[in-house]
Structure 1
């Protein structure tokens, strides 16, 4: 009979330490992934560009067929032409912050945005993309965006 081999005393401690590091790192990795996805979405939907011109409401703003209207995030959006894509990214770092709403339009010509603070009319121009962001009930618009259809 051969005697059983015993592990060196230090190898058990190293194995236990490696296991504890793995157990501690797994939640940190999940948290980092969630933060990175939130940061990436917020960056993708934050569009820089010149402000959309604001105009007074007029009957001809949306043409004889009238506006194409939809509701999203507690606001009502009306456009003359094109398509829209919307999202609700979150502000904040590791701790999620407030959600804001943003819609991109691929060539609306004219927009009307109704929120709890009132209605505002934008005229980015024919064939020009526009991005409307709503934070705290206030709508803002920039000419630009990556949404195309």
Structure 2
């Protein structure tokens, strides 16, 4: 049996165009928000800032309170007080951008960092951030840091 009438051809083109008109701005918006979030994270985890004051080993060991020690990704970290959180971030290093361990400290008073046989001691006056870049510790002072955000 044959049904007479106009055949509907090309109807799918209309619906494909509608889908594109709806999807394209959504995809662009999501990409824009992801770039914005990545930029904010990059700025937050930046190593820009005033370097921490350097402390000698004797002054670090002369402290009355026993330091709290923690190991993270081959790095031994000791602090006099406060809290800490560690993660991995990508930084410019020799050979390009690579992941590096980085830790934030809230009021550590004194820090000792040991990595690859090297030791460094710091006395940040407030919050601090320590990262290991090209096998060497880098410590910068930070605005007050609330650990656990």
Under a length normalisation based on structure 1, what TM-score does the superposition of the two structures give? 0.70
Which residue in the other structure is 1:140 paired with? 138
Instruction: Name the structure 2 match of 1:98.
Output: 98
Contact 1:62 1:80 in 2 (8 A): no
Given that 2:115 and 2:135 are in contact with CA atoms closer than 8 Å, whether structure 1 keeps it comes out as yes
What pairs up with 1:1-149 in 2 under 5 angstroms? 3-9=4-10, 11-16=11-16, 38-58=38-58, 61=61, 63-91=63-91, 97-116=97-116, 118-125=118-125, 128-148=126-146
With over 3 angstroms needed to count, the CA separation of the structure-2 counterparts of 1:34 and 1:67, relative to structure 1, is same
Q: CA deviation at 1:12?
A: 3.5
CA spacing shift, 1:59–1:50, aligned 2, 3 Å: closer
Q: Which secondary structure state, in structure 1, belongs to the residue aligned with residue 120 of structure 2?
A: strand
Conservation of the 8 A alpha-carbon contact between 1:130 and 1:143: yes
| TM-align CA RMSD | 3.7
| Of 100-109 and 26-35, the range deviating more from structure 2 | 26-35
Following the alignment from structure 2 to structure 1, what is the Cα–Cα distance between the partners of residues 22 and 33? 16
So what's the TM-score if we normalise by structure 2? 0.70
* Cα-to-partner distance string for 1:6-25 (whole Å, 9 max, x where unaligned): 3244x434545676899999
* Cα distance in 2, alignment partners of residues 132 and 99 from structure 1: 14
CA contact under 8 A between 1:48 and 1:144: conserved in structure 2?
Answer: no
> Can you give the 5+ residue segments of structure 2 that lack an aligned partner in the other structure?
none
Contact kept in structure 2, 1:61 and 1:110, CA below 8 Å: no
Gapped runs of 5+ residues in structure 1?
none
Worse-matched range after superposition: 21-30 or 65-74: 21-30
